[in-house]
Amino acid sequence: MEDMLFYDRMQFAFTITFHYLFPQLTMGLSLLIVYFKWKFLRTKVDQYNDAAKFWMKIFALNFAMGVVTGIPMEFQFGTNWAKFSELTGGIIGQTLAMEGMFSFFLESSFLGLFLFGEKLLGHKLHFVTGFLVFLGSWASGYLIIATHSWMQYPVGYEVLENGKFVLNNFGALFSNPWLLPSYLHNQAASMVTSSFVVAAIGAFYLLNDKHHDFGKLFVKTGVIFGLISSLLVAFPTGDLAAKNVVKHQPVTFAAMEGIFETEEGGSEIVLIGQPNMLEKKLDNKIAVPNILSFLTYQDWNAEIKGLNEFDPSVYPTNIPGLYYAYHIMVGLGTIFIGLMLLAVIQLFRKKLYTTKWILWALLFMLPFPYIANTTGWYTAELGRQPWLVYNLLRTSAGASPTVSSGNTLFTLLGFIGLYLLLGLLFLMLAGKIINKGPQLNQH
């Protein structure tokens, strides 16, 4: 049974990790495309229009990959997680169906119009199609996170005699206190990814001395949006999301921060340390006293419960994995703020485009927002374990009892091979678009 559950979880973890590489760029990029098109309408400078159309090609490629990799995940609800679907389908099925119907169709329909309809529509209607693509992609994220938030903090439900969950308050799904902080944190994080990608491509052009004007525009836009979104990820969105965990999942918070014992007179914040599960302590830790209490409760001496206060049966299943995922996310977020702040200072000093080391840093940072977003999601998912629906339905009770571990492992290996090919194809196509660069004055 444990083998089967392990492979079920591994398959879902692999497919969702690969899938989310694409929506995290499209959600943020859709806003930047709207910004470029809006700048064109205001200034009538063709460069902004060309930039919008260039990034919409990257968006379309990402969108196609997101669709191709998203569909198998929906099927896994029926194959590997049939019991979970049977028990909770009456609730999560609603938001997932809405995501498919409204957001996906809205996004894909207007994406086609934006890509091919500029001459037919004229610039103002072309801007409207771009705005509706943005609306669709952000609505899609909202409905997915509404589903996820219900699993983290279930509301508006009742459990029938046969164990099935049904919704008795539809509005509660969307007024869930877990939803808004998670959604805003996620969207700000997707803005970080898209800003870093735009800045990195701009830096690539400047360092290679080609598409010079677009290189400057992309670097400038990327670092300004990047600084704003990196700050928003930390505060207020990250702060609000963490306070939700403290309030509703205190055992998860203790594991995330590596607090094994409740500390008298205020909790320290750990900068570096390795969880030692045998001795229930952090090895080689470097910590700053009382900071965590202040950040959490605005009180230097507030008590934060350690893992010793909770029954081991409700501990997160993988405490070291949760601890490292959380600390990688926070560490990278701090680096992002620092780099973008330096870049913006150099931009105002009119030295950014010639400061080679910052351009190289922007280029090499390209993969790191993807890592930060992935570890952020791992923090949320590992933190909820061992529950599928927090405190109500254990993960072991949601797996399909009739699908063997051998079948799941076989299909997991198939996914790994297929996604490797898809990933290589994506990189080749994206590389061709980037290398060719924005096309001038195709109006």
Q: What is the pLDDT of residues 288-317, one digit of tens each?
A: 888 888 888 888 888 889 999 999 999 999
As given in the structure block, the two tokens for residue 401 are: 């009892």
Q: Please report whether residue 267 resides in a domain.
A: no
Mean pLDDT of 174-189: 97
If pLDDT is split at 50, 70 and 90, which confidence band does 130 have? very high
Cα–Cα distance measured from residue 442 to residue 433, given in angstroms and rounded to the nearest whole number: 16
Mean pLDDT of 83-111: 88
Cα–Cα distance measured from residue 40 to residue 55, given in angstroms and rounded to the nearest whole number: 14
Cα–Cα distance measured from residue 34 to residue 122, given in angstroms and rounded to the nearest whole number: 15
Tokens 């997991």 sit on residue: 412
Mean pLDDT of 102-108: 80
Domain that holds residue 164: 2-262+305-434
Tell me the average pLDDT of the chain.
93
Q: Cβ(73)–Cβ(12) under 8 Å?
A: yes
Cα–Cα distance measured from residue 329 to residue 173, given in angstroms and rounded to the nearest whole number: 27
Q: Which residues contact 104 (CB under 8 A, 6 or more apart)?
A: 67, 136, 140
Chain segment 198-242, per-residue pLDDT in tens: 999 999 999 999 999 999 999 999 999 999 999 999 999 999 999
Would you state the pLDDT for residue 59? 95
Tokens 């590596």 sit on residue: 258
State the total domains in the chain.
Answer: 1
Q: How far is CA 32 from CA 55, 134, 176, 189, in A?
A: 9, 9, 29, 14
Residues pairing with 283 in the sheet? 274
Indicate yes or no: pTM above 0.85. yes
Q: Please report whether residue 12 resides in a domain.
A: yes
**Which amino acid does the sequence have at 106?**
L
As given in the structure block, the two tokens for residue 303 are: 């008590």
If pLDDT is split at 50, 70 and 90, which confidence band does 1 have? low
Distance, C-alpha 195 to centroid of its chain = 14
Q: Please report whether residue 321 resides in a domain.
A: yes
Mean pLDDT of 351-372: 96
Mean pLDDT of 353-375: 97
Mean pLDDT of 273-300: 90
Residue 374 reports pLDDT greater than 60? yes
Residue 442 reports pLDDT greater than 60? no
Q: Please report whether residue 45 resides in a domain.
A: yes
Mean pLDDT of 59-88: 92
CB atoms within 10 A of CB 2: 8
Would you state the pLDDT for residue 441? 63
Give the ranges where 44-81 is alpha helix by DSSP (H). Answer: 46-79
If pLDDT is split at 50, 70 and 90, which confidence band does 443 have? very low
Q: Please report whether residue 288 resides in a domain.
A: no
Torsion, CA 273, CA 279, CA 281, CA 284, rounded to 10 = -30
Of 104-108, 141-145, 194-198, 221-225, which range is least confident? 104-108
As given in the structure block, the two tokens for residue 229 are: 């979104």
Q: Please report whether residue 297 resides in a domain.
A: no
Mean pLDDT of 133-155: 95
Cα–Cα distance measured from residue 299 to residue 292, given in angstroms and rounded to the nearest whole number: 9
Closest CA to 205 of 230, 227, 222: 222
Closest CA to 185 of 387, 372, 331, 322: 372
**Which amino acid does the sequence have at 215?**
G
Q: Please report whether residue 272 resides in a domain.
A: no
Cα–Cα distance measured from residue 13 to residue 374, given in angstroms and rounded to the nearest whole number: 10
What does the buried/exposed string (b/e) look like for 195-214 if buried means 16 or more CB atoms within 10 Å of the residue's CB?
bbbbbbbbbbbbeeeebeeb
Residue 73 reports pLDDT greater than 70? yes
Would you state the pLDDT for residue 301? 87
Distance, C-alpha 157 to centroid of its chain = 27
CB atoms within 10 A of CB 194: 28
Q: Please report whether residue 35 resides in a domain.
A: yes
Residue 255 reports pLDDT greater than 50? yes
